[in-house]
């Protein structure tokens, strides 16, 4: 196993110090290899050293202007820092440089939603579900975005896929309740609000939705 692979294994195990040490050794051995800089930047990012992390991503791009993973990692940093315009640029550049991953499409979609460009986000979120068919969160965010753009029936399909993958996704059940409430199907709305509360008893919005329907039914 080479040092980058070993370092990634340490990261997956949450051994950040060991990962940092091995990536620094990889950089010392191959100072012109952008991969080690990206990996070390990801360690720094994971432990909250965002400014230092960005410098390593910039160094990777300096070494290889087509280092798509460096643009993607920088995009995540900007997204976490709520600098959505810069995040959008980074994710789009990563895509142009050939990064065709579900995660990149997903993050670009989330960034466009944050920029209040939900309609533009839809094709990217859809693509993320196609590339990551077992990612419940991708289906959830896609369904949520469809609902926000008033595609209610389409939203229900995606939210149902989300809970099929993750039967404990309380927010997805809550949003299914909202969708069926919007369609004036009170029985299904009640069912899904109750499901959300079974999973998460302190789900305030689901509790509020349930009370609203029960109050309406009592009148």
The pLDDT of residue 2 is 87
Q: What is the mean pLDDT of residues 34-40?
A: 95
Instruction: For residues 139 and 157, give the distance between their C-alpha atoms in angstroms, rounded to a whole number.
Output: 9
The pLDDT of residue 67 is 97
Q: How confident is the model at residue 1 (pLDDT cuts 50, 70, 90)?
A: low
pTM of the shown model: 0.91
Name residue, tokens 């920088």.
74
The pLDDT of residue 214 is 82
Q: What is the mean pLDDT of residues 58-86?
A: 97
Q: How confident is the model at residue 72 (pLDDT cuts 50, 70, 90)?
A: very high
Please check the confidence at residue 219 and state whether its pLDDT lies above 80.
Answer: no
Q: What is the mean pLDDT of residues 187-192?
A: 95
Instruction: For residues 33 and 18, give the distance between their C-alpha atoms in angstroms, rounded to a whole number.
Output: 20
Please check the confidence at residue 141 and state whether its pLDDT lies above 70.
Answer: yes
Q: What is the mean pLDDT of residues 129-152?
A: 97
Q: CATH classification of 1-99 is 1.25.40.10, yes or no?
A: yes
The pLDDT of residue 128 is 98
Instruction: For residues 76 and 88, give the distance between their C-alpha atoms in angstroms, rounded to a whole number.
Output: 10
Q: What is the mean pLDDT of residues 153-170?
A: 98
Within 13 Å and on the Cβ side, how many CA atoms surround 69? 12
């Amino acid at each position: 196993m080479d040092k980058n692979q070993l370092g990634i294994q340490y990261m997956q195990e949450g051994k950040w110090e060991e990962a940092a040490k091995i990536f620094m050794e990889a950089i010392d051995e191959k100072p012109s290899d952008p991969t080690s800089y990206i990996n070390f930047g990801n360690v720094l990012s994971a432990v909250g050293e965002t400014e230092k992390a960005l410098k390593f991503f910039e160094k990777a791009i300096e070494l290889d202007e087509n280092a798509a993973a460096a643009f993607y990692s920088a995009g995540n940093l900007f997204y976490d820092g709520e600098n959505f315009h810069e995040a959008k640029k980074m994710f789009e550049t990563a895509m142009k440089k050939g990064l065709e991953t579900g995660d990149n499409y997903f993050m670009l979609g989330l960034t466009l939603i944050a920029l209040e460009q939900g309609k533009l986000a839809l094709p990217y979120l859809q693509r993320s579900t196609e590339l990551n068919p077992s990612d419940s969160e991708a289906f959830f965010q896609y369904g949520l975005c469809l609902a926000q753009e008033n595609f209610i029936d389409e939203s229900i399909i995606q939210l149902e896929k989300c809970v099929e993958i993750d039967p404990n996704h309380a927010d997805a059940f809550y949003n299914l309740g909202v969708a069926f409430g919007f369609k004036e199907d009170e029985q299904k709305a009640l069912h899904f609000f109750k499901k959300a509360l079974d999973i998460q008893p302190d789900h305030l919005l689901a509790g509020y939705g349930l009370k609203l329907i029960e109050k309406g039914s009592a009148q």
